[in-house]
Amino acid sequence: MSTLKDKVAVVTGGNSGIGYATAEEFLARGAKVVITGRNRDAVEAAATGLGGGTLGVTANQASIADAEGLVNTVKERYGKVDVLFVNAGIGAFAPVNDVTEDQFDETMNINFKGAFFTIQKFLPLLNDGASIILLSSVNAFTGMPGASVYSASKAALNSLGRTLSRELADRGIRVNTVNPGPIKTPILAKAGLDEEGVTAFRQKSAERVPLNRTGESAEVAKLVAFLASADASFITGAEYTIDGGLTVHQLLG
Ligand SMILES: NC(=O)c1ccc[n+]([C@@H]2O[C@H](COP(=O)([O-])OP(=O)(O)OC[C@H]3O[C@@H](n4cnc5c(N)ncnc54)[C@H](OP(=O)(O)O)[C@@H]3O)[C@@H](O)[C@H]2O)c1
């Protein structure tokens, strides 16, 4: 399927999880792919693993200077961007009473402020008709205890997606948001859960999902690739939840 043939696609946080799987999907659909991440070795290893000429750029999404450097690097290599997948993010979980200012700032700076300025800096390089996809979470509209800052950082993305879909419509740039439920990636371990904690969280999540399992990164990647392509040409300002039915209210049964 060549729905992204010769399109230039940037994936932030592309060295792992959903970002890596989406980079794979973009490549399979014919795109030229750029991935970013904050760890040079991880980014280079991922770019090599993806193959297909993938360009790996070390850029911390929390840094506006890094975003500017990223844009310059992509400009030199390709001169334009057709797809911007703003995916990089961290999970950080603590009861409201225990959240420190540093933790608050780190989550907001990566998940929201960084996402905002990444988009702002890429605007001059985006082709008219480009597609921006924001990776949010079902946490954006649910009330999971311990997720106050993470959830707010994601809710801010959903709001941004709606506003930008209006602001950028005159250039034909579509902006959509994807809200995954529990997806099997390294994010929980990176958030500090040990192996037992990760297994317990996944099991509990799967039990609550009507489809009775957690999701795979490749399943999210297919949705993102659809939104990136011309198949989604009349879709903007929309949100897609991909959670196996987790957030459907189950009043009975
Ligand atoms: N997995 C889920 O259940 C789930 C559900 C809903 C939403 N999400 C969202 O999905 C997105 C991808 O997460 P994932 O689950 O695929 O986890 P992941 O495997 O940890 O991927 C996150 C990616 O973002 C990168 N990243 C983190 N902070 C960064 C920074 N400051 N600058 C640049 N890159 C950074 C990570 O790099 P490192 O390898 O260096 O950490 C990694 O490549 C996140 O925004 C997350 O909030 C995940």
Q: Which atom of ligand 1 is nearest to the CA of 214?
A: 3
SS3 2: coil
Q: Please name the helix (run of DSSP H) or strand (run of DSSP E) that holds residue 127, with its range, or none.
A: strand 126-135
Residue 251 has pLDDT above 90, yes or no: no
Tokens of 105: 């700032």
Q: So what's the pLDDT on residue 163?
A: 98
Q: So what's the pLDDT on residue 92?
A: 93
Distance of CA 119 to the CA centre of its chain: 12
SS3 89: coil
Confidence of residue 53 (pLDDT cuts 50, 70, 90): very high
Confidence of residue 71 (pLDDT cuts 50, 70, 90): very high
What residues flank ligand 1, with Cβ below 6 Å? 13, 15-19, 36-39, 42, 60-62, 87-91, 110, 135, 137, 180, 182-183, 185-187, 190
In this prediction, residues 96-104 reach a mean pLDDT of 98
Confidence of residue 61 (pLDDT cuts 50, 70, 90): very high
- The DSSP letter of residue 118 is H
Q: So what's the pLDDT on residue 94?
A: 96
Q: Which residues touch 49 (CB under 8 Å, ≥6 apart)?
A: none
Q: Which atom of ligand 1 is nearest to the CA of 88?
A: 24
Q: Domain 8-236, what fold? A: Rossmann fold (3.40.50)
Convert 22-82 into a string of H (helix), E (strand) and C (coil).
Answer: HHHHHHHCCCEEEEEECCHHHHHHHHHHHCCCCEEEECCCCCHHHHHHHHHHHHHHHCCEE
Please indicate whether residue 150 is annotated as part of the active site. Answer: yes
> CA neighbours within 13 Å on the CB side: how many for 184?
12
Expressed in angstroms and rounded, the spacing between residue 231 Cα and the centre of ligand 1 is: 26
